[in-house]
Amino acid sequence: MITEVNAVHFRQNLGEMLSQVQYRNDSIVICKDGKPVAALVDAESFARIRRMRDRFDELSGRIAAAYADLPPAEGMAGIDTAVAQARRG
């Protein structure tokens, strides 16, 4: 479950919030002035997020290198075509 709380409530109830995340695998979005500014997630989820971000960065770098010699519009057209083909299966 994802819960949104304001920063003051989070600070006042930190222990309870940590328990929610640790034992119930909940996620907590912390808001300040009505806007989300941070999230508290369990360590396993955070590790997955980091791995996905690292993999995304690696793939983005490979794509950028592959299309480095093309004009941007032509490169984007090639990427769009490849994505459309991959989505079709």
Q: Which of 49, 30, 48, 31 is nearest to 39 (CA)?
A: 30
Containing structural domain, residue 28: 2-41
- How many distinct structural domains can be found in the chain? 2
Predicted pLDDT at 24: 93
Whole-model pTM: value is 0.67
Average pLDDT over residues 11-38: 96
Q: Are residues 33 and 20 in the same domain?
A: yes
Residue 89 banded pLDDT, cuts 50, 70, 90:
confident
CATH number for position 17: 3.40.1620
Residue type, position 8, single letter? V
Say if residue 17's pLDDT is above 90: yes
Say if residue 54's pLDDT is above 90: yes
Three-state SS for the chain is CEEEEEHHHHHHCHHHHHHHHHHHCCEEEEEECCEEEEEECCHHHHHHHHHHHHHHHHHHHHHHHHCCCCCHHHHHHHHHHHHHHHHHC
Q: What is the mean pLDDT of the chain?
A: 94
